[in-house]
Amino acid sequence: MNIHEAPLETLVEKVGDYSKTSLALCKLTAIDKFADLLSSLAVQIIVYSILILAVLIVNIGMALWIGELLGKTYFGFFVIAACYAVLAFVLHIFRLNWIKYPINNAIIAKLLSSEKA
């Protein structure tokens, strides 16, 4: 038996332990980042859902008011629908710069952030 076999076995064992620990740390870091991203997304979904409900109620009120001004209630809904059609067209044209790229950047920034807020 060589005198260097025991330290070599110890070194191999420590390298194995280190690699297992590093892998476990990577898994836990990924889980933490995913949980942080998912919880942030859940909060935003809840807030935006409430905002959408408020906008919907305001739109119904505006449609009824505009309809009253134009003489027929359904005219107000047509006007509001036309406004949303124009908005949808503009958003479609600028969807990459206004929607896709900012969301991608926010997700990447959230995943790469090393600090806890």
**For the whole prediction, is pTM greater than 0.95?**
no
Is residue 2 predicted with pLDDT exceeding 70? Answer: no
Is residue 116 predicted with pLDDT exceeding 80? Answer: no
Q: Which residue has the tokens 């479609």?
A: 92
pLDDT band at 106 (very low <50, low <70, confident <90, very high): confident
Number of domains in the chain: 1
76 located within any domain: yes
Per-residue pLDDT tens for 18-29? 999 999 999 998
User: Domain of 16?
Assistant: 5-112
Q: What whole-number distance in Å separates Cα of residue 4 and Cα of residue 11?
A: 11
Which one is predicted more confidently, 52 or 103?
Answer: 52
82 located within any domain: yes
10 located within any domain: yes
46 located within any domain: yes
64 located within any domain: yes
Structure tokens at 103: 């969301």
At what angle are helices 101-112 and 5-70 packed, to 10 degrees? 150
117 located within any domain: no
